[in-house]
A = this chain, B = another copy of it.
Amino acid sequence: MKIVIVGGVAAGAGAAAKARRTDETAEIVMFERGNYVSFANCGLPYYIGGVIEDRDELLLVTPEMFKSRFDVDVRLNTEVVDIDPKAKTVTAAGPDGKQYAESYDKLVLATGGKPLVLPIAGSDKAGIYNVFTVPDADRVTARLEADTRSVVVVGGGFIGLESAENLRAKGVEVTLVEKLPQVMSNMDPEFSDVLIREMESLGIRVLTGVGVEEITGADKAEGVRLDSGETIPCDLVIMAAGVRGSTELAQKAGLRIGETGGVWVDATMKTSDPDIYAAGDIVESVHLVTGKKVRVPLAGSANKQGRVAGACAAGGKLTFRGVLGTAIIKVGGLTAARTGLNTREAQQHGYDFETILVPGFSNATYYPDAMPLLLKLTVQKQTGRLLGAQGIGRKGVDKRIDVLSTAIFSGLTVFDLENLDLAYAPPFSSAKDPVITGGMIAANMVRGEMDYVSPRDIQTYLDDPAYVVLDVRTQEEWDDFHLEGAVLLPVDELRDRYGELDPAKKYVVYCAAGYRAYNACLFLRSRGYNVKNMGGGMNAYHMNV
């Protein structure tokens, strides 16, 4: 048995190790076009920023170790340029440029991705860098130490945001430009607003809804001209417009390409050719909510897929179930995370759903360092099934997203959520964790006990003469800030004073987080009033985290 693996980073390296564990007698060859195997690509922005001080920390595994421990023949700086599936050979171009054939019994394609190159004039100038490989990071680091005072980062995704923050931490002027109207386009827009606020507080200029027309400068980048007309002078440009899976080789080999443009695989990561497996950024995966194929090029999936591909190529039995698109990012002191379907995705897939905003705290508010956080749940209306979740805050967001991801993986409904048995002690949570509170709020909605209005739509109600927007907080909170056009009637005076409210009007009730408004709504409804609750209250309105 001879197993050939194309690509030696996350998926490829994992496949090689697992193939060896599955078949001790196989011959295993791993080709890698770069100079490193299994490096920590997610750490690169932090290495540039000096958060990770030791470059060696990024190099998880060496080719020598692959040889001694796994008896894997690693061939660096070698690109596989062709596959002949009938002859079962690949054509490799070695470091010296010479091409040679290598036969295989089973082939694993883990060619990964390459940074997307935008069709921008001047893209070929010097001084334009990606943050994708260790040499990329070395080049940027060298330029930072030399002459760089200002940088434009193009792209507002993971690498763009992390790079912007880390460059700023090095004392450089940073402008981030994103063509879409928001950053982190895999989250709902209000989360982007909070992230931009945080980046601005770090001294980063953020421009959204603005495209790049040209990289200006004689030979090297000296500025970025935007479609807004503005030109931002800079010493360096970071291109972080996303990653495109390197599917060329798979396509040349005639492998089936799915409707998403990714390589089609079954649950064992086998392609349409029974002797070829694929894993990582090039494949499409089953989405565990929709059942549809999607492409989610993230490290967690790549690792799991590589393990399955390596095992199955070597004759073992493992399956990869699919993805939820779970993802997380740190920006300054904030954490933003998502799993399952966001609002746009739930719409695209035609779900009848509601979103629920849940302001909460990382831990018991009476214990020190409790920090506010906001969860947003996407919930199927009839069934109460949890379709997706997003969260943002300064502490404990990663925990809640992982719990919610596990809940979605398990097909839980909001009626299940409100029954979870989560760990409570004051330093870690509240007696009702925000996930459980979210389940309760969502369950009330699905049961038809409460109607919610999004804080994003509140102006419509403020402008509508048929509606009164009722603030049930205290006078003190009202004085501090309130919605222009709202009416104050504190919840604790409502039972005595509700007669002041015109029963001919309809009411949208708000408080700080939604709980007092919930109680007020139920009371008013029992008195015959038409009421809705502004979900998440002022905390969600301001996105206070």
CB within 8 Å of B: which residues of A? Answer: 10, 17, 20-21, 24-25, 40, 42-43, 46, 51-52, 57-58, 60, 65, 68-71, 158, 288, 298-304, 307, 320-330, 335, 337, 339, 364-368, 398-399, 401-403, 405-407, 409-412, 416, 418-429, 431-433, 435-436, 440, 491-493, 495, 516, 518-519, 522-523, 526-527
Contact = CB atoms under 8 A, between A and B. Distances in A.
Nearest to A328: B423
Contacts of A398: 399, 423, 428-429
B519 A422 contact: no
A296 B105 CA distance: 57
Contacts of A70: 519
Given A69-B519, A399-B399, A429-B398, A299 B424 contact: yes
Contacts of A407: 406, 410
Most buried by B among A51, A416, A423, A492: A423
A522 B21 contact: yes
B303 A432 contact: yes
A24 B522 contact: yes
18 contacts: A24-B522, A24-B523, A42-B424, A43-B366, A46-B426, A52-B366, A60-B366, A69-B516, A71-B495, A158-B425, A300-B421, A303-B432, A307-B440, A321-B416, A325-B421, A330-B428, A406-B422, A409-B416
A425 B519 contact: no
A425 B42 contact: yes
Contact of A401 (B20, B42, B418, B423): B423
A97 to B, nearest CB: 32
Contacts of A320: 419
A425 B329 contact: yes
Contacts of A68: 492-493, 495
B326 A421 contact: yes
Nearest to A523: B24
Given A70-B519, A328-B423, A402-B423, 15 more contacts: A21-B518, A42-B424, A42-B431, A51-B367, A57-B365, A68-B495, A69-B495, A330-B425, A398-B399, A399-B399, A399-B402, A406-B407, A406-B410, A409-B410, A409-B421
Contact of A405 (B299, B423, B516): B423
Nearest to A400: B402
Contact of A304 (B25, B419, B519): B419
Contacts of A21: 518-519, 522
B421 A405 contact: yes
Contacts of A71: 495
A475 to B, nearest CB: 14
Nearest to A58: B366
Contacts of A304: 418-419, 432, 436
A334 to B, nearest CB: 11
Contacts of A65: 492
B46 A367 contact: yes
Contacts of A435: 402
A326 B367 contact: no
> Nearest 9 pairs between A and B by C-beta?
A24-B526, A410-B410, A328-B423, A57-B366, A399-B399, A68-B492, A324-B421, A321-B419, A398-B428
Nearest to A301: B421
A425 B367 contact: no
Given A42-B364, A519-B69, A522-B24, A339 B421 contact: yes
A304 B29 CA distance: 56
Nearest to A407: B406
A398 to B, nearest CB: 4
Contacts of A410: 406-407, 409-412, 416
Most buried by B among A10, A307, A425, A516: A425
Contact of A422 (B321, B402, B492): B402
A69 B492 contact: yes
A324 B440 CA distance: 19
Nearest to A435: B402
Contacts of A436: 304
Nearest to A338: B423
Contacts of A17: 519
A243 to B, nearest CB: 15
A431 B339 contact: no
B423 A25 contact: no
A330 B431 contact: no
